[in-house]
Amino acid sequence: MDITSFFQSLEATGLATRIRDSQFAFPLIEATHVFCFSLVFGTIAVIDLRLLGIASSQRSFKRMASDILKWTWAAFAFTVLTGVLMFITNARVYYHNFYFQTKMVLLVLAGVNMLVFELTAWRTIHRWDTAPSAPRAGKAVAILSLSIWIGVIFMGRLIGFTTKPGAVVAPPSNENFDNFLGGGAPDSGAPPATPPTAPAPDKK
């Protein structure tokens, strides 16, 4: 089974179909995705700013990490879950979307970055735990982490601007969604017979 038919079968599942056809599901799932991701980014930012010595510099890093990172992982789990639920409604379109691909690459890089941290600065934590900032490797990881996650945010937003939700029933046509990347009039409201296979510009 090649990847296209695999994605097609994902799109055809009852779950994906119900989300796609619902007036409420996709918007709520996406909104939850934003909320969960804000917690991921917010908690990571607390850690990264500590590593850089910009905030909370009098606190033990180990203490902060053990307090915070479990929340980061929990929020990340729900972010991935909501992301997958959105993905399956229109898998082929997202898979071929440049910004989606970049976002996935950035996520992998974020993971690699975390691993690098474990293998470098974390090894000597007993030496800098109560120092105001981390050694150079730790600071580099922190800057990379913040940059990567901000990149993820930006790419995520651009997915929304360069794809349409795979809705079989289109929302009311005269909502004020200017089609600014493609120009021209808003979607006429005629429901597409199948999920679009090419990215159609839509402002979200």
Partner 1 sequence: MKEFAQWLSTTSPSIYIQNNNAWFIPTVQSIHIVGIGIILGSIFMVDLRVLGWAGTDQTLQQTTNRFAPWVTGTLVMMLITGILMVIGEPVRELITLSFWMKMSLVALGTVLTLSFQRSVQKHGAQWEERLHHRSVRWMVVVTFLIWICVILLGRLIAYDHFWGSWSPAAIQ
- Site of interaction with partner 1 (CB under 8 A): 23-24, 26-28, 30-32, 34-35, 37-43, 45-46, 55-56, 59-60, 63-64, 67-68, 71, 150, 153-154, 157-158, 160-161, 171-172, 174-178, 180-181, 203-204
Shortest spacing between CB 70 and partner 1, in angstroms:
9
Shortest spacing between CB 141 and partner 1, in angstroms:
18
Written as six digits, the tokens of 160 are: 């929304």
Nearby residues of 41 by Cβ (< 8 Å), 6 or more positions away: 149, 153
Shortest spacing between CB 5 and partner 1, in angstroms:
30
CA–CA gap between residue 98 and residue 119 (Å, rounded): 32
Written as six digits, the tokens of 82 are: 């909501």
CA–CA gap between residue 55 and residue 83 (Å, rounded): 31
CA distances from 195 to 63, 98, 118, 170 (A): 49, 18, 43, 11
- Output 37 or 117, the one with its CB closest to partner 1: 37
- Output 49 or 137, the one with its CB closest to partner 1: 49
- Output 15 or 31, the one with its CB closest to partner 1: 31
CA–CA gap between residue 28 and residue 74 (Å, rounded): 19
- Output 96 or 203, the one with its CB closest to partner 1: 203
Shortest spacing between CB 172 and partner 1, in angstroms:
4
Nearby residues of 115 by Cβ (< 8 Å), 6 or more positions away: none
Written as six digits, the tokens of 113 are: 């970055």
- Output 114 or 137, the one with its CB closest to partner 1: 114
Shortest spacing between CB 128 and partner 1, in angstroms:
18
